[in-house]
Amino acid sequence: MTVFGTIAGQTVRLALRAGGGAVVALVFFLAVVVVVPFGVGPDLRLLARIGPAMLWIAALLASLLGLDRLFGADREDGTLDLVVVSGESLVVYALGRAGGHWLTTGLPIAIAAPMLGILLNLEPPAMAAVALTLLAGTPALTLIGAVGAALTAGLPRGGLLIAVLVLPLTVPVLIFGVLATLGAVSDPEPFLSPFLLLCALTLAALALAPLAAAAALRLALE
């Protein structure tokens, strides 16, 4: 537990410093949401209909930020070798890095989403549903992204490649997140079943993604 806390805390501190990705992800989230009405037009009813989906897509893209530096810096300066040599589990290390990334990217996005919902003419129930589903779903996005980051750790142009590798795997999270949000606002559609599936995806990612990321990091050390 303390190893996880140490690494997660270090990730958060590094991200909050100048040059870190904490505020940038939030600003990118804002930028994407602001650009949407320029693209689809200012029709408020249309914005309210696609608002939850656009917030989710913006959250997905913003979560991909900062992933390529998640493990790359550690591989280059030898911290990864130290973690292995010290006998600590790479799984806990990967979980710590992912946890720190979520605390500085996913969590602020989930908190900021209702306020940006105003820009997209969302009703308060929709805003609450978006915030709740993002809170439940962004850990899955971070964890799946961490697998992609571990696979491309240290590659020169890894950033774009991570997006290509990770996006297909995050599609189910996106689908159930938006379904749950829409289910919370429209009467006949259910909220609970897609939301529970979303939570299941996050828990499955929590169980499996650190194992895959640790395996990939071990390969990165060769």
Partner 1 sequence: MPSVASLANPTRFLALSALVLPWTAGAAVVLFAAGLYLALFASPADYQQGDSVRIMYVHVPSVTLAMGCYTLMAVSALGTLVWRHPLADVAARAAAPLGAAFTFLGLVTGAIWGKPMWGAWWVWDARLTSFLVLLVMYLGLIALWRAFDDPARAGRVAAVLILVGFINIPIIKFSVDWWNTLHQPASILRLSGPTIHPSMLWPLLLMMAAFAMLFASLWLAAMRAEIFRRRVRTAELVAAQPAAVRGSALAGAGIGGAGA
Minimum distance of partner 1 from residue 165's CB (angstroms): 5
CA dist 71 and 62 (Å) reads: 18
Residues 196-215 interacting with partner 1 (rule: CB under 8 A): 212, 215
φ and ψ of 153, to 5 deg? -60, 125
Is the CB of 164 or the CB of 203 nearer to partner 1?
A: 164
The single residue among 2, 39, 86, 157 that binds partner 1, judged by CB under 8 A, is 157
The yes or no reply on residue 90 touching partner 1 (CB under 8 A) is: no
Which token pair is 165?
A: 């590798």
3-class secondary-structure state, position 155 = coil
Query: Is the separation of the CB atoms in 98 and 209 below 8 Å?
Result: yes
CA 17 from centre of chain = 20
CA dist 165 and 87 (Å) reads: 30
The yes or no reply on residue 164 touching partner 1 (CB under 8 A) is: yes
Please report which helix (H) or strand (E) contains residue 131, including its range.
helix 124-151
Is the CB of 11 or the CB of 170 nearer to partner 1?
A: 170
Mark residues 96-135: x for contact with partner 1 by CB under 8 A, - for none.
Answer: ----------------------------------------
The single residue among 46, 155, 196, 206 that binds partner 1, judged by CB under 8 A, is 155
Q: Which amino acid is at 56?
A: W
Within 13 Å of residue 97, how many CA atoms lie on the same side as its CB? 28
Is the CB of 92 or the CB of 214 nearer to partner 1?
A: 214
The yes or no reply on residue 44 touching partner 1 (CB under 8 A) is: no
Footprint on this chain of partner 1 (rule: CB under 8 A): 147, 151-152, 155, 157-158, 161, 164-165, 167-169, 171, 212, 215-216, 219-220, 222
